[in-house]
Amino acid sequence: MKGEFMVDFKKEIAKSISKVTNLDEKELKNYIEIPPNSDLGDYAFPCFKLAKDLKKAPPIIANDIKENIQIDTNIIERIDVVGGYLNIFINKKTLVKSVLENVAKNKEKYGSSNLGNNKNVVIEYSSPNIAKPFHIGHLRTTVIGGALYKIYNFLGYNTIGINYLGDWGLQFGKVMAGISLWKDEYDFKNNEMGSILKTYIRFNKEEKEKPELTEMARDYFKKLEKGEPEIVRQWEHIRNISIDNYQKTYKLLNSKFDSYNGEAYYNDKMEDIIEELQNKGLLRESQGAKIVDLEEYDMPPCIVVTSAGTTIYATRDLAALKERINKYNFDKLIYVVGSEQQLHFKQVFKVMELMGYGEYIKKCVHVPFGLVVDKDGEKIGSRKGNSVFLEDILNEAIDKVKNIINEKNPELEDKDDIAKKVGVGAIIFNDLSNSRIKDEIFDWDMLLNFQGETGPYIQYIYVRTKSLLSKAGYIPKIDEIDYSVLNEIEAINTIKLLYQFNEVIQNAADKNEPSILARYLIDLSQNFSTFYNQHKIITEEKNIQNSRLFLTYAVGIVLKTGVELLGMEMPEKM
């Protein structure tokens, strides 16, 4: 969907081809490609896609279309036939006018749409285990989910972010038992979260030699399950201070949630799921456990109740999914969870489908991602005793940027704020700039580079646009722009990218892949940098200056909007 004033070139091309071929316009639009370089046209239409319907060879179809097509020269300048392709060159002045008028009208809303029509998109992401500081292992789910939350919102969906906390299980028995044994040995008054972690690590270590500790933890957890008031109060306190601790990290990462309903929330909802599975004839006994047999679908059984009579992760996810169906009536439910959980989600989705919720399961998607690894490919924090906490990583990034500023631009105002935006932005962009399914390589030298394909590079180019506008002292009004003077190849390439912004955002949402937007922002930064280096923005010819300044302004808007959709913030100076 293009905004008001925006010419939909693909739609116009498809309409013209449809009139010649009598084929479906929407289908034809989907076939239109962008050639690898602009010498081959702005768009290309592969005629071999029509060979079956038209029963002709692609080069003949291409020539027939060229001979018979009626083109509006305000939209299409010319069409060349190369083999079985139509190479289409659009009217550049119309392109420039369309893009810049749209930016002038919509400003920071440029690229947004009402495509979502306020339909609900539910995204489950982050979901750390409480009673532990936020580990770097939860970085990827947090920033991927946070970006998708913002992207769907920008496309007119009503996005609901759910932080499905790991807030139940034997680990809380261990934490409480550890606190009762060693509360006087740690500084709970001044560093409660750190002290809880220390007691938990110590408990896990000592129980290997002292099995009575495991029994003690089980007793505490049983008391919690039974709802003993004092134990429940202690659990709630641990849960609350954990969330308070996470909020600092979420604030830095610009992540927000609409629900913190974790595993514990579903404790009283699992009996209903078990009963429903029983009534629908899906549960059967196997070695003392209750399972749903999925052999017919080439999957191992989904265990719903263990042989010890306890519910399991899958039981909670089934209960959570049913509750979300009833509560949100979602258009899409997205689980941003690591790729090691792929089988788990296949099982849960299949069980819900067998229960009769197939219409909703079609709207559910697991969005997997790889690990965070160092430059040698080793999982960060995987070695024993080598936990890497996200808050420490973010603070270290901020400090490193502060050192760079002190070295290169010590007089800069608001150093702390700029260091925060650049340091945290570098971490976020490093995560999102490659396909999420690949492992993320964490390398300080790479991610804080101001010249490479990094977050700081995009921020640097944005700051360059701001300083050019500041130097000129004004932003031209749209009626002062002479569209015809923006005709250099570097200007046109930059404007073509601006034109694609909405399509890029839609594509990122369709594929649940924020890297599509991240890579686009690198391309736009590099193209503008080429334009800027080859053509003076501030010049004596006023109409050229106005046009180039407005293009600079438009690039700045799109870069800022784009990085904010990824969860980053833009500094105004660097």
Instruction: Kindly report the backbone phi and psi dihedral angles of residue 51, in degrees, each rounded to the nearest multiple of 5, phi listed first.
Output: -60, -40
Q: Which of 442, 364, 451, 407 is nearest to 143 (CA)?
A: 442
Residues 563 and 547: their CA atoms lie apart, in Å, by: 25
pLDDT score, position 384? 39
pLDDT score, position 262? 93
* H or E element at residue 372: strand 372-374
Letter string b/e over residues 110-138, b meaning 16 or more CB atoms within 10 A of that residue's CB: bbbbebbeeebbbbbbbbbbbbbbbbbbb
- Is residue 155 a contact partner of residue 113, using CB atoms and an 8 Å limit? yes
Residue 416 reports pLDDT greater than 90: yes
pLDDT mean across residues, the chain: 92
Residues 379 and 371: their CA atoms lie apart, in Å, by: 7
What average pLDDT does this structure show over 424-444? 86
Residue 383 reports pLDDT greater than 50: no
- Is residue 121 a contact partner of residue 104, using CB atoms and an 8 Å limit? no
- Is residue 531 a contact partner of residue 544, using CB atoms and an 8 Å limit? no
Query: Could you tell me which residues come within 8 angstroms of residue 17 by beta carbon, excluding any fewer than 6 positions away?
Result: 23, 28, 45, 65, 69, 86
The two tokens of residue 210 are 């002292």
pLDDT score, position 385? 44
What average pLDDT does this structure show over 425-435? 92
Q: Strands (DSSP E) along 198-267, which ranges?
A: none
3-state SS, residue 152: helix
Query: Could you tell me which residues come within 8 angstroms of residue 340 by beta carbon, excluding any fewer than 6 positions away?
Result: none
- Is residue 304 a contact partner of residue 291, using CB atoms and an 8 Å limit? yes
Q: With cut-offs at 50, 70 and 90, classify the pLDDT of residue 135.
A: confident
Summarised one tens digit per residue, pLDDT across range 136-190 is 888 999 999 999 999 999 999 999 999 999 999 888 899 999 999 999 999 998 9
Q: With cut-offs at 50, 70 and 90, classify the pLDDT of residue 1.
A: very low
Domains and CATH numbers, the chain: 9-90 (3.30.1360.70), 170-253 (no CATH)
Residue 247 reports pLDDT greater than 70: yes
Residue 447 reports pLDDT greater than 70: no
Summarised one tens digit per residue, pLDDT across range 502-539 is 999 999 999 999 999 999 999 999 999 999 999 999 99
Q: With cut-offs at 50, 70 and 90, classify the pLDDT of residue 38.
A: confident
pLDDT score, position 5? 56
| pTM for the whole structure | 0.92
Say how many C-beta atoms besides its own lie within 10 A of residue 342's C-beta.
12
Active site residues: 132, 135, 138
